[in-house]
Structure 1
Amino acid sequence: MIRLALNLALIGLFLSFSANVIESPWMNSLENKIYDFRLNQTKPNTVDPRVVIIDIDEKSLKTLGRWPWNRKVMANLVDILFDHYYVQVLGFDILFAEKDNSSGLDTLAKMGEGIFKDNPTYLQTLEQLKTELNYDQQFADSLRERDIVLGYFFRNQVNENARELNTGLLPAPLETVKPFVSPIQQLLNPTGYGANLPMFQQAAVGGGFIDIPTIDADGVARTAPLVQHYEGGIYGSFALEMTRAVLGFPPIEPVYADYANENGSPVLEAIKLDEFVIPTTDQGIAYIPYRGNYPSYTYISVNDVMNKTVDPDILDGAIVLMGTTATGLLDMRATPVQNVYPGVEIHANIISGILDDTIKLKPYDVIGLSFVTHLIVGVLMMIALARLKLVYSLLLTLSLVSAMLWGNYYTWQVLNYVTPVVSPVLMILSLFILHIAYGYFIEDSNKRKLNKLFGQYVPPELVDEMNNTNKPISLKGETREMTVLFSDIRGFTSLSEQLDPEQLTTLMNEYLTAMTKIIHQNRGTVDKYIGDAIMAFWGAPLIDEAHARHAMQAAMDMQNLLPELNESFKRQGFPAINIGVGLNTGKMNVGNMGSEFRMAYTVLGDAVNLSSRLESITKQYGVTLIVSESTKDQAPDWIYQEIDLVKVVGKKIPISIYRPISKKFEINARQQKEMYLFKLAVKLYRAQQWHEAKKIIEQLKQLGSGLLLYQMYLERIAANQKNPPSADWDGVFEAKSK
């Protein structure tokens, strides 16, 4: 009976998955991986000559200067593309939301209204220069009477002030052959937008949204909406509008299935554009038909277009998209074919897919078909496995799995359908395994659960320890006293400008790996990487009574490892790095937090924010590590020096901040002398005995360490001598920046 009950429960579970009654993030993730595998195995790997991408690349930025370029350059670029190269359609995967004041026209006009208002020669010259210096008007004029589509974006975050955040002018809503049925219920409904300046959108023939709000939970762009509904209008994506421009802007027509959904409403299954029928989900979302790895299209540098050195045959009659692959302009996406992929090429793939009819369809009724398949196969397996010997059970299982995989490949490659494969295959395998080792799975279920829940957050040693503990462990939110660490690389922006992308990636990987090992070795949990910054915490998911000590040891180990890391960087031709670290201990919320699309095991609270603030002010004091008083009190194995009484940003109550000097019993005489003198100087400083405090700090400077800290106090003393504070001044310094 137990085996039968387990079988029925297992089949019922997978039936729930197939009917979307139960959502399984890990199964969805695996389904996505299988989707990626099929896509990569069957992609054509060809270059589409019809679509050309004009690239704002590093070469162009080096020649034409930092982005954004002035609109006179953009107007000239548009004229060259249409008048010299005769492109068919041009689309900007770029937003022109702000006025261009680079010509100085506004300044000259203000001068004409001010000091030169009575100078007729100046006013006459200004009037003559207005046309020449109005770069925005020149760009707008270059857009007129040409097939040019501008990009804009929709916001999908719920925000009460979303309308107030809107900028620019949206294009007119799409014309439809027949209206969409219940678009508010069917389509995505953004809450706001960011669009181009009205003069540009009015001059262009159209516009399409460039945002992709359907990024999967793993951050990969597999689908994109073709239409969205906003305040009663239907708006097309950038790729759809580019295709419409190629076809002469025909109206779109929603295509509905001959069956209804569970609410009785028609099911959207495609959008018809002229003779092209574009498969979509019931929300107007299409699968992106990637042709291959980057680049699957011809890329031409803007610099080469401006210099007219491009082969005219490449651009003559082409569908042209203007976007960027420059690292600093941040338009790179994760895709099934590559982790770093230009966003502009995603739009190009959709255009090609529409024109080639290669966009795949995930039928709405695939849920019903999947449910029936699960039911038939599940019951067959349950009955057969109870009667068959192990060898025949294995053959049956392998045969059913092979049939599922072949059928899935057939629907993908021949019928152009996207159908689920993970759930039925896993059900077959699960039933087989259950019948030969169900006891084993029951006994070890807790271990597997812990590995799944916490394996991505903590070192393997802690996962093993959690497996061996009898205390309940979960991801549910709770309040604990913990210690949080923030660190980042000093001057990372200038450092990154010295390295090419590959070198920067190598440096960051080596740095983050080394620091993460230290955190793990000291029982820490890495919360996240934020660019060059690391956030980690101690005290969860396992309770750690010595969390402050472990965090303090990790912070010191990170500092001590830097010379060795910098030696490695030097051998590779990389610049040396310095880091700042902040530590704070206090009550905070910890647990799995996020949305239905992405979750993260993280910490929140005022104590977390304070740790970040402490890290950010290390550079002001010229020290590499600052800890709060609460951390100092709970990590008494070190000797600390109080360096200031400060109000950090966001805090009304001042706090004492400290820097660790050394481990106890390891402090030398020179350090003791420096600590004594500095403590005395701070005491005199807070007592407003400026002359005496200054004298001691100047003596400290002669010791040759902490020069920035001491210089800072000398500057404060000088400022207070010039403008003395009130008699009840408490010596608190108020930080002005985060």
Structure 2
Amino acid sequence: MRGHSAVLILSGVIAIGGGLSSTWLRGIELRFAGVVQETRGVRSVPDRLIIVAIDDFSLQQAANADLSNDPLLQSLSQWPWRRRIHATVLDRLIEAGATAVAFDLLFESPSSHGEADDAAFAKVLRRHREQVVLGVQVLSSQGPVAGMSLLDVTPTLRPADTPIDRGLLNGEPDSDGVIRRRPGQVTQFMREQLDPSIPDGLAIALLKKQKQAADFSIFSQDLLDPYGPPGTIPTLSIWELLEPQAYASIKRSGRLRNALVLVGPTAAVLQDLHPAVFSGAQGMPGVELHATELANRLDSRSLRWIPTPAGWNLVMAFLVIVAGVSTARLERPLARLGFLLSAAGLLVAGSAGLIVWGGVLLPILGVAGSVAITGIVTSADATVRLQWQRRRLLRTLGRYLSPAVAAKIADQPEETDGLLGGQLMNVVILMSDIRGFTGFTQEMTEQGKVKELVNRLNQYFSEVVNAVHSEQGTVDKFIGDAVLAVFGAPLKQSRSANVRAAVRTALALQEKLAVLNRGWEKQGQKPWEQVIVLSHGWVLSGNIGCASRMDYTVIGDAVNTASRLETIAKQTGQLIVISAAVAEQLPSNFPLRNIGTFAMRGQEKQQVFALGTDTDADDWPDTL
């Protein structure tokens, strides 16, 4: 009943909250669509589309005063450029075979370089008027004289007897400032608000210059379906059209033959960069947004957005009730949570699939979020009950088990008897010991530096514990200055994984002690030298002790072998010593040295190996 009460409360919250935050949900859906599009990656662009960019490269080239004796190129050093430059670009584009050219630039006032400059451009525009589109823009103002006005092409470039086609440059950003809709879709709104004669968007106006059929539809909820980050759409630097040799090469290549060309700024200094999908921090050039719309229309594709309809919050609230009641039979909280989160994940994945392959953005995220929240809420009651059971068990076990072991058992109450009764485990034992620690202790004691000794030992033990835990090992116990650690218990792993984890830990301990020694030596203290041994074998792990005192520990031949290896290491002066069973699991090119055959108590004689600690870290086998 408590679980159902929580579900009913949640459904009410979803119904009210969803109704009040519908705009916020729409924003989340749009951002999700952008993430999916970016995750999908770069797509191929229609072959006929090319951007001619007024880019950073062109502006940098123009800044080189001694670059060329060509007056036209020298005039590029001042922005805005002479309109003779645009005339040359248009002439050369048409000459190279372009079908139509659109300028993502404003020519709303006479040229600052004089009437002759406008006349030269106007002459070229008249010659190619059937193949060119010039940009215009609607400006919105606020305040006492709020309104909209059209920045049209200056009459000096379009005499009354020579009409020049124009294309609207405006885009419509969403509430977060990101441009997701097709720029051409703003035309309808501008015509209603300002003037029915407002021209088509730049992309549509350019498409109408070609002879083939194309997508001229305008739906307010159609979003751009981008092809990739800035520069994905084929781009030529405008410098390549103006520099004679580069232009000759382009013309010979036939790259512009039958192309639809958009000319516009991409350089950051020209301030035509906008937040958009794929734009990143640098922004997406406006000309590339128009080119994306143009490419989408050539491909007859877009992302059709179906916004959250009225009453959708009630649908989500109903789904919360259905999901909560249907999963009430799952008693374990993780089972409930996993089931409903999986359902939510499938909904999200389905929505992403529709975006990528269907070109449709449905209001599914709100539903997925409701299902996921239901999973969290409906698992809360079972979680609370299980936590109370776990705490009672922890209080009982904590009297004679270490916190880690007690937590493991408490997390698996149904397996308590098996874990406490003992298990036979295949493990690797790591034992570390400070060489000459007894003498060092006597010396520090005589000097009255017992506190410093304890601090150093604690520093060392902290590094050992961190190194062991980082490789999923277990610190079994501290024995004076020695540490006994286990790899493979209580969490089972493969023999190879245990060996490699133990070897990595041993190597890490060498590095950590070297760092500690450098610090101690700077303080005028003597460095330490440690001995590390690794053995492998079967041990009995479990709750061992008496009724008043028990510890989770391991006993067996592997522990005894580690103790014997420690003695051998000290006798032979080696830093890291491993048993033959450990050596068998290491790569053949591992830096091992056979230090002899030794007797092991209760076992046959066996070979013992030393690990080469003087090998550079970069030379260790990658398989470790």
| Cα separation, 2, equivalents of 1:204 and 1:43 | 42
1:245 aligns with 2:209: yes
| Cα separation, 1, equivalents of 2:353 and 2:329 | 32
1:91 aligns with 2:102: yes
> 1:151 is paired with a residue of what secondary structure?
strand
1:344 aligns with 2:305: no
For residue 238 of structure 1, report the CA deviation from its aligned partner. Answer: 1.5
- Structure 2 match to 1:151: 135
1:60 aligns with 2:69: no
> 1:367 is paired with a residue of what secondary structure?
coil
| Cα separation, 2, equivalents of 1:396 and 1:149 | 56
Superposed CA deviations along residues 585-619 of structure 1, whole A, max 9, x for unmatched, are xxxxxxxxxxxxxxxxxxxxxxxxxxxxxxxxxxx
Q: Any residues of structure 2 matched to 1:685-724 within 5 Å, and which?
A: none
Q: Any residues of structure 2 matched to 1:338-377 within 5 Å, and which?
A: 338-339=279-280, 340=282, 341-363=284-306, 367=309, 374-377=316-319
Q: Any residues of structure 2 matched to 1:3-22 within 5 Å, and which?
A: 7-15=7-15, 21-22=20-21
Superposed CA deviations along residues 295-335 of structure 1, whole A, max 9, x for unmatched, are 12222122221222342211111111111122210111222
| Cα separation, 2, equivalents of 1:277 and 1:13 | 44
Q: Any residues of structure 2 matched to 1:207-286 within 5 Å, and which?
A: 207-217=166-176, 219-225=177-183, 226=185, 227=187, 228=189, 229=191, 230-233=193-196, 235-247=199-211, 276=215, 278=217, 280=219, 284-286=220-222
- Structure 2 match to 1:335: 276
| Cα separation, 2, equivalents of 1:47 and 1:89 | 18
Higher relative CO (Cα under 8 Å, sequence separation at least 6) belongs to: 2
> 1:361 is paired with a residue of what secondary structure?
strand
**Structure 2 residue identity aligned to 1:150:** L
> 1:236 is paired with a residue of what secondary structure?
coil
1:161 aligns with 2:145: yes
1:325 aligns with 2:289: no
Superposed CA deviations along residues 342-397 of structure 1, whole A, max 9, x for unmatched, are 22111101101011022011236x62695575255222123234443124422431
Instruction: Work out whether residues 51 and 319 of structure 1, in 8 Å CA contact, stay in contact via their aligned partners in 2.
Output: yes
For residue 417 of structure 1, report the CA deviation from its aligned partner. Answer: 0.5
Measured on the aligned residues, the alpha-carbon RMSD in Å equals: 3.2
| Cα separation, 1, equivalents of 2:299 and 2:16 | 36
Instruction: Work out whether residues 46 and 299 of structure 2, in 8 Å CA contact, stay in contact via their aligned partners in 1.
Output: no
- Structure 1 match to 2:232: 296
Instruction: Work out whether residues 49 and 314 of structure 1, in 8 Å CA contact, stay in contact via their aligned partners in 2.
Output: no
| Cα separation, 1, equivalents of 2:362 and 2:51 | 33
- Sort the Cα spacing of 1:439 and 1:236 in 2 relative to 1 into closer, same or farther, 3 A: farther
**Structure 2 residue identity aligned to 1:53:** I
Larger Rg: 2
- Structure 2 match to 1:566: none
- Sort the Cα spacing of 1:392 and 1:369 in 2 relative to 1 into closer, same or farther, 3 A: farther
**Structure 1 residue identity aligned to 2:104:** D
Instruction: Work out whether residues 49 and 297 of structure 1, in 8 Å CA contact, stay in contact via their aligned partners in 2.
Output: no
**Structure 2 residue identity aligned to 1:37:** V
Instruction: Work out whether residues 216 and 222 of structure 1, in 8 Å CA contact, stay in contact via their aligned partners in 2.
Output: no
| Cα separation, 1, equivalents of 2:207 and 2:40 | 24
- Structure 2 match to 1:48: 46
Aligned pair partner of 1:311 in 237, 250, 255: 250
- Sort the Cα spacing of 1:298 and 1:373 in 2 relative to 1 into closer, same or farther, 3 A: same
* Matched residue count: 352
Instruction: Work out whether residues 214 and 298 of structure 2, in 8 Å CA contact, stay in contact via their aligned partners in 1.
Output: no
- Sort the Cα spacing of 1:13 and 1:367 in 2 relative to 1 into closer, same or farther, 3 A: farther
| Cα separation, 2, equivalents of 1:277 and 1:98 | 30
Instruction: Work out whether residues 148 and 204 of structure 1, in 8 Å CA contact, stay in contact via their aligned partners in 2.
Output: no
> 1:309 is paired with a residue of what secondary structure?
helix
Superposed CA deviations along residues 544-585 of structure 1, whole A, max 9, x for unmatched, are xxxxxxxxxxxxxxxxxxxxxxxxxxxxxxxxxxxxxxxxxx
**Structure 2 residue identity aligned to 1:74:** H
- Sort the Cα spacing of 1:92 and 1:327 in 2 relative to 1 into closer, same or farther, 3 A: same
| Cα separation, 2, equivalents of 1:136 and 1:153 | 20
Q: Any residues of structure 2 matched to 1:124-143 within 5 Å, and which?
A: 134-143=116-125
- Sort the Cα spacing of 1:310 and 1:437 in 2 relative to 1 into closer, same or farther, 3 A: farther
For residue 41 of structure 1, report the CA deviation from its aligned partner. Answer: 2.6
Instruction: Work out whether residues 341 and 375 of structure 2, in 8 Å CA contact, stay in contact via their aligned partners in 1.
Output: no
Aligned pair partner of 1:432 in 371, 375, 384: 375
Instruction: Work out whether residues 96 and 197 of structure 1, in 8 Å CA contact, stay in contact via their aligned partners in 2.
Output: yes
For residue 44 of structure 1, report the CA deviation from its aligned partner. Answer: 4.3
- Sort the Cα spacing of 1:376 and 1:303 in 2 relative to 1 into closer, same or farther, 3 A: same
| Cα separation, 1, equivalents of 2:216 and 2:86 | 35
Instruction: Work out whether residues 221 and 306 of structure 2, in 8 Å CA contact, stay in contact via their aligned partners in 1.
Output: no
Instruction: Work out whether residues 279 and 360 of structure 1, in 8 Å CA contact, stay in contact via their aligned partners in 2.
Output: no
- Sort the Cα spacing of 1:247 and 1:419 in 2 relative to 1 into closer, same or farther, 3 A: farther
Superposed CA deviations along residues 604-636 of structure 1, whole A, max 9, x for unmatched, are xxxxxxxxxxxxxxxxxxxxxxxxxxxxxxxxx
- Sort the Cα spacing of 1:97 and 1:370 in 2 relative to 1 into closer, same or farther, 3 A: same
Instruction: Work out whether residues 88 and 317 of structure 1, in 8 Å CA contact, stay in contact via their aligned partners in 2.
Output: yes
| Cα separation, 1, equivalents of 2:371 and 2:269 | 48
> 1:348 is paired with a residue of what secondary structure?
helix
- Sort the Cα spacing of 1:349 and 1:79 in 2 relative to 1 into closer, same or farther, 3 A: same
For residue 58 of structure 1, report the CA deviation from its aligned partner. Answer: 2.9
Instruction: Work out whether residues 155 and 192 of structure 1, in 8 Å CA contact, stay in contact via their aligned partners in 2.
Output: yes
| Cα separation, 2, equivalents of 1:414 and 1:67 | 44
| Cα separation, 2, equivalents of 1:41 and 1:34 | 10
* Structure 2: tracts of 5 or more residues without a match: 63-75, 385-624
Instruction: Work out whether residues 110 and 156 of structure 2, in 8 Å CA contact, stay in contact via their aligned partners in 1.
Output: no
For residue 430 of structure 1, report the CA deviation from its aligned partner. Answer: 1.4
- Sort the Cα spacing of 1:205 and 1:372 in 2 relative to 1 into closer, same or farther, 3 A: farther
| Cα separation, 2, equivalents of 1:316 and 1:406 | 42
Relative to structure 2, which stretch is displaced further, 219-228 or 367-376? 367-376
- Sort the Cα spacing of 1:29 and 1:363 in 2 relative to 1 into closer, same or farther, 3 A: closer
Q: Any residues of structure 2 matched to 1:563-574 within 5 Å, and which?
A: none
| Cα separation, 1, equivalents of 2:225 and 2:365 | 21
| Cα separation, 2, equivalents of 1:437 and 1:236 | 56
- Sort the Cα spacing of 1:277 and 1:53 in 2 relative to 1 into closer, same or farther, 3 A: closer
| Cα separation, 2, equivalents of 1:362 and 1:396 | 29
| Cα separation, 2, equivalents of 1:15 and 1:409 | 25
| Cα separation, 2, equivalents of 1:438 and 1:322 | 63
- Structure-1-length-normalised TM-score: 0.44
Superposed CA deviations along residues 250-293 of structure 1, whole A, max 9, x for unmatched, are xxxxxxxxxxxxxxxxxxxxxxxx5636473xxx2531111112
- Sort the Cα spacing of 1:326 and 1:57 in 2 relative to 1 into closer, same or farther, 3 A: same
- Structure 2 match to 1:379: 321
- Structure 2 match to 1:408: 351
| Cα separation, 1, equivalents of 2:9 and 2:207 | 49
Instruction: Work out whether residues 404 and 425 of structure 1, in 8 Å CA contact, stay in contact via their aligned partners in 2.
Output: yes
- Structure 2 match to 1:287: 223
- Sort the Cα spacing of 1:414 and 1:97 in 2 relative to 1 into closer, same or farther, 3 A: same
**Identity over the aligned pairs, expressed in percent?**
20
- Sort the Cα spacing of 1:338 and 1:398 in 2 relative to 1 into closer, same or farther, 3 A: same
- Structure 2 match to 1:397: 340
Instruction: Work out whether residues 55 and 299 of structure 1, in 8 Å CA contact, stay in contact via their aligned partners in 2.
Output: yes
| Cα separation, 2, equivalents of 1:387 and 1:147 | 70
